[in-house]
Amino acid sequence: MLRRTPVPAISSSSYSCFSSSLNLLLRSPTRCRVPRRALCCCNQSTGPESPPPPVVIRANHAGLRLEEKVEVGLQKTRIDSWISSRIRGVSRARIQSSIKSGLVSVNGRTVNKASHVVKGGDMVYCMVSKLQPLRAEPEDIPLDIVYEDEHVLVVNKPAHMVVHPAPGNLNGTLVNAILHHCRLPTMACVKSNQASEADEYSDSDSEIEDLCTEQYTAEGIDLENCDALIRPGIVHRLDKGTSGLLVVAKDDHSHSHLAEQFKQHTIHRVYISLTSGIPNPSSGRIEVPIARDSNNRIRMAAVSGLNNSRHARYAASRYKVIEDFARGGAAMVQWRLETGRTHQIRAHAKYLGIPLLGDEVYGGTKSMALSLLRPRIPSSLHGHLTNILSKLERPCLHAFSLGFKHPHTGEFLRFSCPPPEDFSEVLDQLRSVSSHCSNN
């Protein structure tokens, strides 16, 4: 177990000391929600002149039903794709699972292939399959503990570690490590909005996670009795590629209290990032809603004005350039979150035209970084620069500081943690390149 000597929390009265920590960096290289059954049907016939609105399902629960005729004039399309477009918020993977379970029919005949093609006039029936809770086993995984008492735990999450279990990531997560550290039994993880479908399809209003734990029997879980199985746990998330500070609740009161602070946006959070290019102006506030990208379901998008979708969620971030490199070819940008949407910083950075270095999903590709940096540095450094960027394996984003009101003592605690080695190495190399530019 990797454990730091407990770092004393920084009280609000001594915040001036805390605020200087970033400058030092610059100078040195609730409840478990049980699925409720609901019915959602649309039986009217439709034509090309008045296509029906998509069926909007805000709670992704087992038993939800769709019964609808494919609009006339629609080009032939896969049935899993068509159903996904009609049932908002339910992943395509889950629709495919429903098809494999025999819960989808076309014109009265059961369909068992997700690739089945539907055409205009076909009558489609679908029932969303039962959601299976994820089991997370305690695992002896080293934790970098920044602070711990009997009520809360603050950890420094490494990059590439997933926070909670998801299909394909049942082991090696932060939750697995915390279950072992806190000596909790096997856990069933039921996310507040769509359990077991991972961050990819999260559409919650906040970063709150609801976790249920229980000692499993041979018969497995009874979700109807999940309220009695609640254990405190993860209160907020960080993306897999994001490193930095994250708070964990160790009792019900702490979980509820911290969750409320996230809901009210009173949690203090500061992130630092390395970006392609530099924002103009160099500091400001961006208040642009975020929604699922209609062209890429694993990506979010900042949408404004006429492009604003009714599914977009309010999102606000404050940013400030801390340091720029190679005459504006890259920058270190500080972010303060007012809300906690999925991929908020990454989506807002892309919207500002400064995608994070290493963030291939949001446009921070190596080729873009090179196109901005090469014209600004001596040609003798081009090979060195390419080598730097080739080492990037994740978005350069780090949760640098975290502050919250202690759920039991009421004291406001603040913590800070420098970025990990991979981030710091790129930062140092950018500074080195910039110094050569200054000398020429």
Phi, psi of 402 (to 5 degrees): -145, 135
* Cβ atoms of residues 85 and 51 within 8 Å: no
Which among 239, 324, 359, 422 is annotated as catalytic? 239
Phi, psi of 195 (to 5 degrees): -60, 150
Instruction: Please spell the DSSP secondary structure of 219-231, one letter per residue.
Output: TB--GGGGGGGB-
| CA angle (71 as vertex; 69, 75 as ends), nearest 5 | 120
**In the 8-state DSSP scheme, what is residue 51?**
P
- For residues 137-172, one letter each, b for 16 or more C-beta atoms within 10 angstroms of the residue's C-beta and e for the rest, the string is ebeebebbbbbbeebbbbbbbebebbbbbbeebbee
Please state, in angstroms and as integers, the Cα–Cα distance from residue 232 to each residue in 71, 150, 210, following that order. 47, 12, 8
* Cβ atoms of residues 364 and 299 within 8 Å: no
- Give the alpha-carbon dihedral of 242, 248, 252, 256, to 10 degrees: -50
Q: Judge whether 324 counts as a catalytic residue.
A: no
Helices (H), 374-419: 382-390
- Cβ neighbors of 197 (< 8 A, separation 6 or more) are 60, 91, 93, 94, 166, 167, 191
* Cβ atoms of residues 231 and 211 within 8 Å: yes
Q: Give the end-to-end CA distance of the chain in Å, rounded to a whole number.
A: 48
User: Which run of H or of E encompasses 430?
Assistant: helix 421-439
| CA angle (198 as vertex; 126, 164 as ends), nearest 5 | 145
Question: Hey, what amino acid is at 192?
Answer: S
* Cβ atoms of residues 153 and 147 within 8 Å: yes
* Cβ atoms of residues 172 and 160 within 8 Å: no
**In the 8-state DSSP scheme, what is residue 427?**
H
Please name the residue that has the structure tokens 């994250």.
246
Residues with a catalytic annotation lie at 239
